[in-house]
Amino acid sequence: MKRLGILISGRGSNFEAIAENVASGALGVLGVEIAVVISNRAEARGLEAALARGMNAVCLPSKGLDREVYDRMLVAELHKHDVDLVCLAGFMRLLSAGFIREFPNRILNIHPSLLPAFPGLDAQHQALAHGVKITGCTVHFVDEDLDAGPIVIQAAVPVLDDDTEETLSARILKQEHRIYAEAIGIVIAGKYRVEGRRVLLT
Amino acid sequence: MKRLGILISGRGSNFEAIAENVASGALGVLGVEIAVVISNRAEARGLEAALARGMNAVCLPSKGLDREVYDRMLVAELHKHDVDLVCLAGFMRLLSAGFIREFPNRILNIHPSLLPAFPGLDAQHQALAHGVKITGCTVHFVDEDLDAGPIVIQAAVPVLDDDTEETLSARILKQEHRIYAEAIGIVIAGKYRVEGRRVLLT
């Protein structure tokens, strides 16, 4: 199991971090390849980045499509590229039960907070507004609930008194880039088991 | 403002950490004194510890008493000892609006999680069951909602794969002892301002 399918909606900075790690980091050593990058929005800058890297880059616009219909298109595209592990990298859609059944325990997402705190949109804004002193990021398996599946890795990030959403987001993003590649490595290598909601290394 | 009133219900390990810091740490340098330790349960071991340190130790049993009635007794006892800042240290009761009005922004609590995650009882158990990789502890101002007031300090603590509730609680407790004294120092020295929910150092 070594072929990644990466789903994006925007700039895909986490996609780029994964691609770098595949090119010259631990994921490359594990023999991981990026099979395809799929965006649900044509204007996603990550698509150009994927093309520039000589990767398969596919635009599957979701606008106006029923979730089940769209997710079947996504599944077909991922299977066409023999994808083993699906990585959401700023993919701004909830996935249907049908999609999740196609990739059991084979979908990862990254979220810019220490879940279960601050799920959903604008997690960094939520953290600042709540006045927490520590936030972070989380890589988790995806289930049918928003930002709710079993957690693979988290990283803590301090909130500073003079932080804006931008400075805090940038500090978190550095850790996102680090832990996403690490989590993919753990899952690809199969070096874990899930007990209840706990993901334990083996 | 330098006189602390400490409310406990049990062993009061955070009370002991504060007392140590008053005796030979930064709180002592700031001129902080522990004016009184009050327990709502006669069997609280922290009461003996307070007596052993030669402190005022008061047992005010809460059992069977209406919250408003009990809280008025608590307020009277705290005022009797000229308390400036109330520190909850494992005090297992919600405080009434009347109590909180008596000590505006002058009540601190410590909670063994990175709030807003895992409020309420058994926070360490909740964290393990949820499968988080990072938890911690929080010192916050107390308002009328459970574990919800503005946050003064937090500390992050890793959750290890072989953790039990006991090992995790012990790791968190070390950080509790450190940050509670630090938070009391900030509040006593008045070196902060509150903006919305954010507590910012000045």
- pLDDT tens per residue across span B168-197: 999 999 999 999 999 999 999 999 999 999
Cβ pair B153:A130 closer than 8 A? no
pLDDT, chain A, mean:
96
State how far residue B63 is from chain A, nearest Cα, in angstroms.
35
Looking at residue A146, its pLDDT comes to: 80
Q: Which residues of B touch A115 (CB under 8 A)?
A: 132
Q: What is the CATH number of domain B1-103?
A: 3.40.50.170
Q: Which residues of B touch A119 (CB under 8 A)?
A: none
Looking at residue B195, its pLDDT comes to: 95
Buried/exposed B64-90: b ≥16 CB within 10 Å, e otherwise? eeeeeebbbebbebbeebebbbbbbbb
Nearest in space to B75 (alpha carbons), one of B92, B44, B98:
B98
Whole-Å CA distances, B1 to A51, B25, B35, B83, B85 = 64, 18, 12, 8, 7
Q: Which residues of A touch B105 (CB under 8 A)?
A: none
Whether the predicted pLDDT of A162 surpasses 70: yes
Asked if A1-103 and A110-202 have one fold, the answer is yes
Looking at residue A1, its pLDDT comes to: 63
| pLDDT bracket for residue A35 (50, 70, 90) | very high
Residue labelled with tokens 């008045």: B190
Say if B115 is an interface residue toward chain A (CB within 8 Å): yes
CB B84 within 8 A of CB B108: no
ipTM of the shown complex: 0.94
Q: What is the mean pLDDT of the segment spanning A140-166? A: 95
Helix (H) or strand (E) holding B31: none
Q: What is the mean pLDDT of the segment spanning A26-55? A: 96
Q: Where are the alpha helices (DSSP H) in chain A?
A: 13-24, 26-29, 45-52, 67-80, 97-102, 123-130, 165-188
Let me know if B177 is a catalytic residue.
no
Q: What is the mean pLDDT of the segment spanning A104-113? A: 96
B110-202 has CATH 3.40.50.150 classification: no
| pLDDT bracket for residue B167 (50, 70, 90) | very high
**Residues, chain A, total?**
202
* Residue B190, Cβ density class (10 Å: 0-12 exposed, 13-18 middle, ≥19 buried): exposed
State how far residue A139 is from chain B, nearest Cα, in angstroms.
10
**Cα torsion angle, B42, B181, B199, B5, sign:** positive
The proportion of chain B whose per-residue pLDDT surpasses 70, expressed as a percent, equals 100
Closest to A114 (Cβ–Cβ): which among B131, B134, B197?
A: B134
Instruction: A124-127: list long-range contacts, CB under 8 Å, 24+ apart.
Output: A124/A165, A124/A168, A124/A169, A124/A172, A125/A165, A127/A159, A127/A168
Annotated domain spans of chain A: 1-103, 110-202
Nearest in space to A90 (alpha carbons), one of A15, A174, A146:
A15
B87 φ, ψ to 5°? -115, 115
The proportion of chain A whose per-residue pLDDT surpasses 70, expressed as a percent, equals 100
Residue labelled with tokens 């604008």: A122
Say if A150 is an interface residue toward chain B (CB within 8 Å): yes
Q: Which residues of B touch A118 (CB under 8 A)?
A: 116
Centre a 10 Å sphere on the Cβ of residue A85 and count the other Cβ atoms it contains: 21
Whether the predicted pLDDT of B1 surpasses 70: no
| pLDDT bracket for residue A120 (50, 70, 90) | very high
Whole-Å CA distances, A83 to A9, A36, A102 = 19, 8, 11
Closest to A201 (Cβ–Cβ): which among B136, B154, B161?
A: B161
pLDDT tens digit sequence for B131-161: 999 999 999 999 888 888 999 999 999 999 9
State how far residue B175 is from chain A, nearest Cα, in angstroms.
14
Looking at residue B116, its pLDDT comes to: 97
How many Å apart are CA A6 and CA A27, to the nearest integer?
Answer: 14
Cβ pair A154:B131 closer than 8 A? no
pLDDT tens digit sequence for B40-69: 999 999 999 999 999 999 999 999 999 999
How many Å apart are CA A126 and CA A157, to the nearest integer?
Answer: 15
pLDDT tens digit sequence for A45-78: 999 999 999 999 999 999 999 999 999 999 999 9
Looking at residue A4, its pLDDT comes to: 98
Distance of CA B80 to the CA centre of its chain: 20
Cβ pair B198:A131 closer than 8 A? yes
Closest to A199 (Cβ–Cβ): which among B131, B155, B196?
A: B131
Structure tokens at B93: 């009761």
Say if A134 is an interface residue toward chain B (CB within 8 Å): yes
Looking at residue B173, its pLDDT comes to: 97
